[in-house]
Amino acid sequence: MHGFSYKNGELYCENVSLQSLAEEYGTPLYVYSAGTITDHYTRLDKALSGVNHEVAYAVKANSNLSVLRLLATKGAGFDIVSGGELFRVIKAGGDPAHCTFAGVGKTREEIIYALEQGIYSFNVESEEELRYLNEVAKELGKIAPAAVRVNPNVDAKTHKYISTGKSENKFGVDFEAIASLYDRAATELPNIKLRGLQMHIGSQLTSIDPFIEAVEKVIPLVTALKAKHGIEFWSIGGGIGIVYQDSLQSGTPDWWASKNESDRPLTIEKYGQELVPRLKDLGLKILLEPGRYIVGNAGVLVTRCLYEKKGSAKTFKIVDAGMNDLIRPALYEGHHEIVPLTEPTDGLTAKVDVVGPICESGDFFCQDRELPVFNPGDHIALMSAGAYGFVMASNYNSRRLPAEILVEDDDATVIRRRQDLEDLIEGEL
């Protein structure tokens, strides 16, 4: 559920009108609901009660300092994938000792920085990386805490670009090779502390079945590693999906109640009910690495319709946001529900393409979609844009990055100002 709904004919974020924000701050404009972020974090943390655990937010989903600060105040740990993300976490008041560093291509500079800051663990993706980590730690006279990422070869049945747990994906070490790798590391790599095991099978999973399959497959392995090498944690990854198709409606309990259990997307309560009994007796700290689940439905991208272009084959609604602002539809056909900021009352719809101003045919937010009628000058919201939205934005076509707003009840705060033209060339000679 989330904090976006129509009130008195206008779309609101919590208790703030999105139309008022668009008029005051301009568009394109990202708007986030603080209450939704904290609610999702709290519910996930509660769902894992009964297990020694930590919720480590995946910073790559939305790395704005104010979002990180909000989660840090709630006690979240952080899953990072670059030295820059670690820097952000520290600037936001997060504790490096509650950070795990993932990613297949960590550089020497990043490793040194993370060791100096005292992170909890490096999540290592290959034997070569583990050996290099040992080498750098030895040079610094430090012991590097590490967990190897196991690839359990479980098909998460998600989009191929966000599948990570199959043997053909670039992530992790083959399941069958993990035990021998830990044996070699224990005897050959004196500057490595084998602190845990990590896995992650993919993103945007809306069924519990792949999670159960992966956990049950890896339990014997993690149990053996604990007995032989004394590991203390098991990171079971993230990947819990959110509602994109009916995003606005899913903000209410009634929408969830109206669904048959077989048709209902995976709830965090169901996730906890199925996994906690399988994890609670392992004697290991369980790390969870959610990103999209925490912030995805907590944000929208507000944009204004500039023109309507009617051709012989299509009707295009041209808006002032582009693929540089939100690339998911162009990158992997990501769906975002599109709703007017003024609540439709006449029931009129039209089949349209909503496109941006970028000089690319891939610059679209939807194609041939039946939408409520809106006209030039009207504002619309692209729902479920809180994750992998602004963080993937760019200055392509020399377009300025949009502003970001965080709403807390009645208050709206600018948490990133819109770039000006001078910002576009900062650093260039």
Strands 29-33 vs 299-310: parallel, antiparallel or unpaired: antiparallel
CA–CA separation, 233 and 8 (whole Å): 49
Tokens at 423, concatenated: 């910002």
Asked whether 59 and 85 are in contact (CB, 8 A), the reply is yes
Q: What three-state secondary structure class fits 299?
A: strand
Whole-angstrom Cα distance, residue 316 to residue 117? 51
Q: Transcribe 198-246 into DSSP letters.
A: E---BS-B--SHHHHHHHHHHHHHHHHHHHHH---EEE----B----TT
Q: Which residues are annotated as a binding site?
A: 239, 289-292, 328, 332, 360, 388
Per DSSP, the three-state class of 298 is helix
Q: Token pair 């809306």 is at which residue?
A: 206
3-state SS, residue 46: helix
Alpha helices in 141-197 (DSSP H): 178-188
Q: How far apart are CA 229 and CA 284, in angstroms?
A: 13
Out of 13, 99, 305, 359, the active site residue is 359
> Is there a catalytic annotation at residue 359?
yes
Q: Are 186 and 194 in contact (CB under 8 A)?
A: yes
* 160: helix, strand or coil: helix
Binding site residue list for substrate: 292, 328, 332, 360, 388
Binding residues for pyridoxal 5'-phosphate: 239, 289-292, 388
Active site positions, annotated = 359
